Amino acid sequence: MANDRLRGKPDVVLTPEVLSARLDRAAANTDLDIREGRFQRWLALIAGLSSALSGIEVAYEHYKGSYSRRVMYTPVILSGALVAGGMSGFFSRRAARTILPAVSVLTLGDCAVGFYFHVRGIHRKPGGWRLPIVNMVMGPPVFAPLLFGVSAYLGLLASFLRRGEAAGSGILPLPAHPDHWARIVTGEHEPISWAQDVREGRFQKQMAIATAVSAFFSGFEAWYSHYKNNFRYKAQWTPVIIAPMLMAAGIAAVKSPRIARTWLPAISAVAIVDGAVGFGYHARGVLRRPGGLKKPFYNVIYGPPLFAPLLFAACGFLGVLASLLRREKRR
């Protein structure tokens, strides 16, 4: 892409001034392409990975629901497709522009359908919405389809990013030098174009919102699952407490670049740690079930959900990612 622009149109006379201006612009574009490209790659990969987690969870959650409707297979199939889409988006620019958005949009649609069926499922349980708590706890998890939707949304977001094929775009969009971390925290900008500032800023906002939304869904699920379990362990309160904080930070980060650089990454990091610890506890919970490893399959599906804490950690990861993006200057 950048090379095409460099060549220019043949009927324009290339004076040194024109050339110089073009080179400046091209350099800026290349830089933008590279940054966004890296970012796109990694966002695609994250969409794929989180969808893999969601996919495994939905596969066995729907198994617990006996795949009693054929439509219950769709999120399992689509999560596979989204994993494939994310992976191919990581490796191929073309895939990132074609397959990834297609699969993402399809998945978003499916999530809406799923949300409808889950709401309806609770409605159709004895007592319906008149017994909201019991039926939400024991019925289909009402926000699970929407949480899955966040992965799809990330996939869609990734496909809108620009991407060059220049070398280096496969590197994680993290500042390489320790100094850069300081710059991010202090808000000092690298010398890049304002256009990139604006684009990244928008994406940062989007990411911050995505963080807040998925923290809400994930936190809500943690709340009622742990409530179902009577909060037997104090640690079960942590995701319930961290989730609203992460939500607040995510929402505040939309307005305040300062919060986006400070509170958001801090709370996100806490969420990641909490998710990792939760994963450990859930794994231990599975092992401690009657029969333990002698009934591995049953205990994984009916024990504490192994991947739910990882999905919570994924919210934190989104938050960190959002905070790493740069932000346009206020005009």
Is 65 or 109 the residue whose CB approaches another protein more closely?
A: 65
One character per residue 146-165, x = contact with another protein (rule: CB under 8 A): --------------------
Site for another protein in 244-263 (CB under 8 A): none
The alpha-carbon radius of gyration of the chain (Å, integer) is 22
Assess 296 for contact with another protein (CB under 8 A).
no
Please give the Cα distance from 194 to 183 (Å, whole number).
17
The least distance separating another protein from the CB of residue 95, rounded to whole angstroms, comes to 31
Binding status of residue 125 toward another protein by CB under 8 A: yes
Binding mask 62-81 for another protein (x = CB under 8 A): -xxxxxxxx-x---------
In the bound state with another protein, the residue whose beta carbon lies nearer, of 35 and 118, is: 118
294 binds another protein (CB under 8 A): yes
Name residues contacting another protein, limited to 25-64 (CB under 8 A).
63-64
Q: Give me the amino acid identity at 13.
A: V
* SS3 category, 161: coil
Question: To the nearest whole angstrom, how small is the minimum distance from the Cβ of residue 145 to another protein?
Answer: 16
* Longest alpha-carbon distance in the chain: 80
Does 234 sit near another protein (CB under 8 A)? no
Q: How many whole angstroms separate alpha carbon 173 and alpha carbon 36? A: 9
Q: Which stretch binds another protein (CB under 8 A): 152-160, 237-245, 273-281, 283-291?
A: 283-291
91 is an interface residue for another protein by CB under 8 A? no
State the alpha helices, DSSP H only, in the chain: 2-7, 16-64, 74-91, 93-97, 99-124, 132-138, 144-160, 178-186, 194-228, 238-255, 257-261, 263-288, 296-302, 308-324
Q: Between the CA of residue 105 and those of 42, 85, 119, 150, 153, what are the distances in Å?
A: 19, 12, 21, 11, 8
At its nearest, how many Å lie between another protein and the CB of residue 147? 20
Find the shortest distance in angstroms from Cβ 119 to another protein: 14
Residue 290 near another protein by CB under 8 A: yes
Q: Which amino acid is it at 294?
A: K
**Are residues 75 and 141 in contact, defined by beta-carbon separation less than 8 angstroms?**
no
